[in-house]
Structure 1
């Protein structure tokens, strides 16, 4: 008997398909370089938020991949996707992984050029 929050282990749970994040806007316009720096800082510190490093590595690979490859990475790593845009995921041990939208897609107010 499992706890009331446990999920079925017999495979009858539907697999949540990964989708692109909805368009979002940063609090102020950012350049591509600033966005890259924000992403690098997040991924450098992500393992300190808890969870397992190999899951963080898989999530980073999935965030950088196209949707089909991202789905394969997530499925192979045993990541449980709560939100289809990958903003909230869990590993098989129940550790929670929260990804900010800026590591998953570009903001609508991204400054391009110069």
Structure 2
């Protein structure tokens, strides 16, 4: 009886992560603008609540390839609700929401030459 609840939690925390679906920004942006948006988000993210070490782990996962990101999320004890990392929780139940722009590039990114 109690084991069934434990098993659900293990299944929930071990959810495989994947890249977010393709998305489009409201207007075409440059890589520099995207980088600035990401930096602003990560600088302010701990003020949204939750623990700084979880935010740090989520940033590392967002900036890593999928296999390393999976290892980071698993070792930090992050509970992944959406496989694309847009909604996660820590072991204490704090919610962490990541915008798609920190996880992938928009389809209308302006390529600078």
Instruction: Give the TM-score normalised by structure 2.
Output: 0.91
Equivalences, count: 109
The answer to whether 1:9 aligns with 2:3 is no
- Closer, same or farther: CA 83–109 of 1 in aligned 2, 3 Å: same
Q: Secondary structure at the match of 1:9?
A: helix
Alignment partner, residue 25 of structure 1? 24
The alpha carbon displacement at 1:89 in A equals 0.0
Residue by residue over 1:62-114, the C-alpha shift from the partner in whole angstroms, topping out at 9 and shown as x without a partner, is: 00000000000000000000000000000000000000000000000000114
Higher helix share: 2
Instruction: Give the TM-score normalised by structure 1.
Output: 0.90
Alignment partner, residue 81 of structure 1? 80
Residue by residue over 1:16-74, the C-alpha shift from the partner in whole angstroms, topping out at 9 and shown as x without a partner, is: 10001000000000000000000000000000000000000000000000000000000
- Give the aligned CA root-mean-square deviation in angstroms: 1.8
Alignment partner, residue 4 of structure 1? none
- Runs of 4+ in structure 1 deviating by more than 4 angstroms, as ranges, are none
Q: Distance in 2 between matches of 1:19 and 1:47?
A: 24
The alpha carbon displacement at 1:11 in A equals 6.5
Alignment partner, residue 66 of structure 1? 65
